[in-house]
Chain A
Amino acid sequence: MIDMEQRVAAYLMHRMPAAREVQIDECARIQGGSSQETYRLRGRWHEDGQPIERRLILRRAPPAGLVVAERDIEFTVYHALANQGVPVPGVHWFEADPQWLDQPFFIMDMMPGKPGHFYTSDDPYDGHGEAVARQFWRHLGTLARIDHRALGLDTLRNGTADDSFWSRELDWWADIFHKGEGVVEPIVHAAIRWLRRNPPPPAMKPAIVHGDYRAGNFLFTADGAISAILDWEMCHIGDPLEDVAWAIDPFWPMTRHLSLDQGLAEWEQASGMAVDRAALDWWRLFSAVKASAIWATAEASFTQGPVREMVVGMSGIRAGHFHRKVILDYMAERGHGA
């Protein structure tokens, strides 16, 4: 990591010409955000004669990953959402020039707290499960209430659209699925056809959709407060129910800490909107298709190399199967194969 520390220090000197004695140390790669490499590091320098120390996170685009994200989306969204009622890290610099770290990257504040290990623990939030879940839903409701145009986020995907979000997103993810599909998966094809034949009602409003709002993508502190919502690289404008459905996908369940009805009540209060359960069911099946597309991309990424992260391989092998079974169950509920 010494080379990484030296390169980051050189970059900070470039971005902060007034800073003196810039040092970067304690650099370590951490798990999180499978579509981007994530490093924590400590930065120290002097500015106007005063010593400054910052704990920072660096997110670097990998050569390939789970999703093909536009590199500056996450930085743009973090910047726009500062002080909007949804906890996000402060961001400092985005860099697209590969001369510094070979790939585009950005640097933001390291926030206090930790993610809950919901796969390996029955109590991932250290006894604060219900409190964390209530905040989880309230923050998502707050996000849905925000006017994205007022924040300049009409540059996001679908940012200037007012409707047809379901078909836009279905087209988007079906295309990604078909591009990544190594093994022909008739189950996913059938689900896509069903979604096209049975469209949901129009969105209640165009909303900022996080795109990957779920357990594992936020931090909580020892007192049970959510300190940051992370991993916004799939953020776009769409139907707010897309995030609600994604949040309750059985692969990362929040409903074991707070019932679905209670969670949706929190969301409704924060968003000022009522959940149409039939529409939500459409988005739940959509979520399984979207997940299948992500896992298909993971399979393709691992197959093609050159970077072969174990978490990407595991996603391709195990998560793909999981969501095909979810689709089978959802389709059975709709009278197909019951």
Chain B
Amino acid sequence: MNLTLETLLHGVAATLRDRIAPAIEDSFAIEASRLAAMLITISANAVDDAAAARVWENAALRALFADAQPAFGGDLARRLGEAALSADPGLKISELDRENARLRTILVELHAAVENADNDQACKLDARIWRLLRETEERRAPRS
């Protein structure tokens, strides 16, 4: 049997919640222990798919940029094109997060440009961006 980080953290949270917190007298410390157990549980539930969620989101952003690029000109079009062809630098969470921050920054610019364009294509892109934002938020939702 493989003792996963997820299982280990759930065990730590249960110990904190069920054994340590009840043995504490100070009410502030009891509440801190309860919250700590909840935070550990949320962390445990995020361990397994942390990389997958980021890889999925980065790929979805690149696909959006590729489709949006022809609708714009100038520097934004160039950067959309470059970002669409980019790749994740590695699979460490820190690496994926840095890449995700870079792509999200471009998304903010793209979204603002879409809002300023008054045509059918912009409306479709706006709807697609909001759908992507909702799906991303759901995939990253903290689970307790």
**Chain A residues proximal to chain B, CB less than 8 Å:** 28-31, 183-187, 189-190, 193, 197, 309-311, 313-314, 317-318, 321, 324-325, 328, 331-332, 336-337
**Measured CA separation A22–B6 after assembly (Å):** 53
* A310 adjacent to B36 (CB under 8 Å): yes
A116 to B: closest C-beta gap in Å: 16
Q: A28-B28, A184-B105, A193-B112 are in contact. Are A321 and B142 (CB under 8 A)?
A: yes
A110 to B: closest C-beta gap in Å: 15
**Measured CA separation A336–B133 after assembly (Å):** 11
* B142 adjacent to A318 (CB under 8 Å): yes
**Measured CA separation A29–B27 after assembly (Å):** 8
B75 to A: closest C-beta gap in Å: 19
* A313 adjacent to B105 (CB under 8 Å): no
* A318 adjacent to B144 (CB under 8 Å): yes
Q: A28-B28, A31-B28, A336-B130 are in contact. Are A189 and B142 (CB under 8 A)?
A: no
Looking at the complex, which one of B100, B104, B126, B130 makes contact with A328 (CB distance below 8 Å)?
B130
Looking at the complex, which one of B31, B104, B112 makes contact with A31 (CB distance below 8 Å)?
B31
- With both beta carbons as reference points, the residue of chain A lying nearest to B126 in the complex is identified as A336
Pairs of residues from A and B, 4 with the lowest C-beta to C-beta distance, nearest first: A337-B130, A310-B35, A184-B104, A29-B28
Please list 26 pairs of residues, one from A and one from B, whose beta carbons are closer than 8 Å in the complex, sorted by A's number.
Answer: A28-B26, A29-B26, A29-B28, A30-B27, A31-B27, A186-B104, A186-B107, A193-B111, A193-B112, A197-B115, A310-B32, A310-B39, A313-B35, A313-B39, A314-B38, A314-B39, A317-B39, A317-B142, A318-B142, A318-B144, A321-B140, A328-B134, A336-B127, A337-B127, A337-B130, A337-B134
